[in-house]
Amino acid sequence: MTQHRAAAGAEGGAERELVVLLDEEHQRVGVADKATVHTRETPLHLAFSCYVLDADGRVLITRRALGKTTWPGVWTNSCCGHPGPDEDLDAAVRRRVGQELGMRVSGVRPALPDFRYRAVSAEGIVENEFCPVFWARAEEGPDPDPSEVAEYAWTEWADLVAVAERTPWLLSPWAVEQIPRLDAL
């Protein structure tokens, strides 16, 4: 485990991860244990997605670990996660990038602050998230947690846009929706 992942807090420890439940106006209405939220009837909750860029402007994409409950082995954006009940999104992005990718980022900024999606995995699990999307700048190379990330690649943005357009089945459903919207900015 890298020192960044250790400092960010190892996921899956004794402490349960809580997610923020939302109403249809995206107002907080409660919290729930993450382990109980992603089901066939997932309530709307707060999440985030992040696209990490390197100094050359390439974007980091990751392939979800094969042990993931939903969309195992699928390529996606750099990192996703859920802020804690009292955690702002910037801090949550930095924390989760540290946990999942073992790296530090700077310049975290919103790109699609009002993104929302709903998708159903092949396993029947529903993703139902209000999921602001962020850009961030890599401060170092990744050292990903293998329970989260099977592999990663740095790619040109135009190449990722082409994949989302021509072969969307290779990507997570949220990335397929996010990428053209990000490209239109």
> Residue by residue, what is the 3-state secondary structure of 58-99?
CEEEEEECCCCCCCCCCEECCEEECCCCCCCHHHHHHHHHHH
Which one is catalytic: 80, 131, 148, 177? 80
Which one is catalytic: 17, 25, 50, 129? 129
> Is 82 annotated among the ligand-binding residues?
yes
> Is 38 annotated among the ligand-binding residues?
yes
Residues 6+ apart with CB under 8 A from 15: none
Beta-sheet strand order (sheet of 28-33): 28-33, 18-22, 45-46, 126-130, 116-120
Residue 123 is among the residues annotated as catalytic for this protein:
no
> Is 129 annotated among the ligand-binding residues?
yes
> Is 26 annotated among the ligand-binding residues?
no
> Is 45 annotated among the ligand-binding residues?
yes
Residue 131 is among the residues annotated as catalytic for this protein:
no
Q: Which two tokens stand for residue 155?
A: 């790619």
> Is 139 annotated among the ligand-binding residues?
no
- Where is the binding site for Mg(2+), in residues? 100
Residues noted as catalytic: 80, 129
Binding site feature residues: 38, 45, 82, 100, 127, 129
